[in-house]
Amino acid sequence: MAKYEIKTELKKDWYVLLVIIGAIILTLLVYPSLPEKMATHWNADGEVDGYSSRLVGAFLLPAIGLVTYLLILFSPVVDPRRENYTKFIKGYRLFRLGIILFLTGMHLLSLAFNLGYPIDIGRAVTLGVGILFALIGNFFPQIRHNYLFGIKTPWTLASEQVWRKTHRLGGKLFLGSGLLVMLSIFLPGKPRFWLLIILLLGSSLVTIVYSYLIYQKEQPQKD
């Protein structure tokens, strides 16, 4: 069985690294044109309610993106079930790309807004979150049993069969939630925000309860 190797994954992720480097270069190019105080947080109605210095506003998200990428890249190395990552490696690479594209997209939106472009941040972020939900949902059924990535409850970790069934259901829930979140861009700010929260929490809660019920069903009946 093939092993999960960082050197190989870095070679395969050349396009992900290109996105990260490109975002940093672009940020450096526009940095002199950014305001001293940058808008960095928006409320549910899409109104600015938080500011940061130009340095923080310009480089915080790229830094978060780089750290997130490295965590996802190196996590399998310390996972006792690291051999299972090779069973869903294509999906794992796509997930890394999806996360970086999402964070980079949010960063570019922030830059554009602070440069004076008329962008509806609330709707743009909602669309991005919906796409990310759908990507995660599509990816969930591929994930094999491990300790660091996926829907980790005491019951999915205790049983590979419970893991598979829970991730199949979780995939459908997150995919459906993602599509609904994308459609919600036509709603006003607060209803759109609360729909996102309800779908995220609801999908998570259902998968947790489902994993418990399936696990209990698997247990041999005692006399």
Residue 150: left (phi > 0), alpha (psi -120 to 50), or beta?
Answer: left
- Average model confidence (pLDDT) across the chain: 92
- Res 222: pLDDT: 45
- Res 223: pLDDT: 41
CB environment 168-194: b (16+ within 10 A), e (fewer): ebbbebbbebbebbbebeeeebeebbe
196-208 per-position pLDDT tens digit: 999 999 999 999 9
175-196 per-position pLDDT tens digit: 999 999 999 999 998 899 999 9
Whether the Cβ atoms of residue 103 and residue 66 lie closer than 8 Å to each other: no
Predicted confidence band of residue 95 (pLDDT cuts 50, 70, 90): very high
% of the chain exceeding 90 in pLDDT: 88
What does the block give as tokens for 217?
């069903």
Q: Is the pLDDT of residue 67 over 70?
A: yes
